[in-house]
C-alpha cells in the first residue's frame, strides 16, 4: 500500500470512530430536552484569519463556511429540527466592496454545491430556506437560492433558514408593509393591524421562535438578528471564533439549555 492510500485508510477509520463517538454522545444528550430551534450568530471569521496568519480575510470566511457544514451535520445528528444561520446581515453591505463580493461568491458557491447535492440525493431530508431582503442580492444568487428552496421544499428532517441581507428592522418594515397591502382592499393603509398580521409576513415566519441563540466571537449583542423572535430564547455566547466552533461548544450550549429548562419554562409561562 502506498502512502496516499494509507493516509486515506487512516482518515476513513478515524472518521468512522469520530462518528461512533458522536452517536454515543448525542444519545446521552437526547436523554434531556433537545432544542427545537437553534440560531447561530456566526462571528469572528476575520479575527480567525488574523489569529492564524491566513493570507487574507477571505480565507477566514472560507474557514467559516467549512464550519457551517460541520455544525449543520451535528445539529442533524442530534435531531434539532430547525436551525437558523445569520450568514450576512444587511449592515454587512457597508463592508469593503471586495469583502462583500467575496462573501457573496462564497455563498453562491455553497448554494450551487448544495443544489448538486440535492439533485444527486445526498442532502437527505434537509430543507433550505433563505430569509432576508433577497431583492438586494444579485440576480444569479437570487435564482440559485430560489432553485435550492424549491428542490428541497418537501424535506422535513432538518429545516435550515439562511438569513442573508437580513436585519430585524427591515424584516419588521417588510412585514408591516406587506400586511398593510394585503389587508387593505385598495392599497390604503387605514386598517386595524393585529400582531399575527405582522408575524405572518416576517421573513422567518416559516420557523418557530428559537430556543437558543448561539453567538460566537465573544460578542454579547444580537446585532439586529431575530430581535422580535428571541425575547424568550436563551442567549449563549462563546469566545470561540466561528471557524473554531466545534462539537464540544455545541454540546455545552445544549447542556446549558437542559440545565436551565425549569427556569426557561417558568419565564415563558410568566410573559
Ligand atoms: C462574521 O465574521 C462573518 C459574517 C457573517 C459576515 P466577521 O467577518 O464579522 O469577523 P470578525 O468579527 O470581524 O472577526
Ligand atoms: Mg464580526
pLDDT tens string 92-145: 999 999 999 999 999 999 999 999 999 999 998 999 999 999 999 999 999 999
Measured CA to CA, the distance from residue 180 to residue 159 in angstroms comes to 29
How is the chain split into domains, by residue range? 34-270
Alpha carbons 220 and 177: distance in angstroms, whole number: 31
C-alpha cell at 141: 444568487
Q: Where are the alpha helices (DSSP H) in 125-260?
A: 139-151, 168-183, 195-200, 247-259
C-beta of 45 in contact with ligand 1 (< 6 A)? yes
Active-site annotation holds for 43: yes
Catalytic-role residue among 43, 105, 133, 271: 43
Please give the distance, rounded to the nearest whole angstrom, from the Cα atom of residue 114 to the centre of ligand 2: 25
Pick the CATH number of 34-270 from 3.40.1180.10, 3.40.50.300, 2.60.40.1120, 1.25.40.80: 3.40.1180.10
pLDDT mean over 57-83: 97
Cell digits of residue 64: 467559516
Would the pLDDT of 55 be above 90? yes
Amino acid at each position: 500500500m502506498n502512502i496516499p492510500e494509507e493516509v486515506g485508510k487512516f482518515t476513513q477509520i478515524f472518521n468512522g470512530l469520530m462518528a461512533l463517538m458522536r452517536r454515543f454522545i448525542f444519545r446521552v444528550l437526547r436523554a434531556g430536552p433537545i432544542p427545537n430551534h437553534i440560531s447561530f450568530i456566526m462571528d469572528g471569521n476575520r479575527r480567525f484569519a488574523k489569529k492564524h496568519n491566513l493570507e487574507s480575510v477571505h480565507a477566514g470566511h472560507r474557514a467559516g463556511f467549512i464550519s457551517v457544514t460541520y455544525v449543520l451535520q451535528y445539529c442533524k445528528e442530534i435531531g434539532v429540527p430547525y436551525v437558523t444561520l445569520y450568514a450576512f446581515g444587511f449592515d454587512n453591505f457597508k463592508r469593503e466592496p471586495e469583502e462583500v463580493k467575496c462573501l457573496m461568491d462564497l455563498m453562491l458557491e455553497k448554494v450551487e454545491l448544495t443544489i448538486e447535492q440535492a439533485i444527486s440525493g445526498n442532502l437527505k431530508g434537509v430543507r433550505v430556506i433563505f430569509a432576508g431582503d433577497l431583492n438586494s442580492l444579485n440576480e444569479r444568487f437570487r435564482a440559485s437560492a430560489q432553485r435550492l428552496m424549491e428542490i428541497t421544499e418537501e424535506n422535513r428532517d432538518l429545516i435550515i433558514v439562511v438569513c442573508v441581507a437580513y436585519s430585524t428592522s427591515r424584516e419588521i418594515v417588510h412585514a408591516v408593509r406587506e400586511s398593510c397591502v394585503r389587508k387593505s382592499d385598495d392599497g390604503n393603509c387605514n386598517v386595524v393591524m393585529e400582531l399575527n398580521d405582522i408575524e405572518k409576513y416576517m421573513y422567518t415566519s416559516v420557523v418557530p421562535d428559537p430556543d437558543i441563540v448561539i453567538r460566537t466571537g465573544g460578542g454579547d449583542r444580537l446585532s439586529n438578528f431575530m430581535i422580535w423572535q428571541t425575547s424568550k430564547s436563551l442567549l449563549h455566547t462563546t469566545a470561540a471564533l466561528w471557524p473554531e466552533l466545534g462539537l464540544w461548544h455545541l454540546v455545552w450550549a445544549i447542556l446549558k439549555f437542559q440545565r436551565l429548562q425549569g427556569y426557561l419554562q417558568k419565564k415563558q409561562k410568566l410573559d
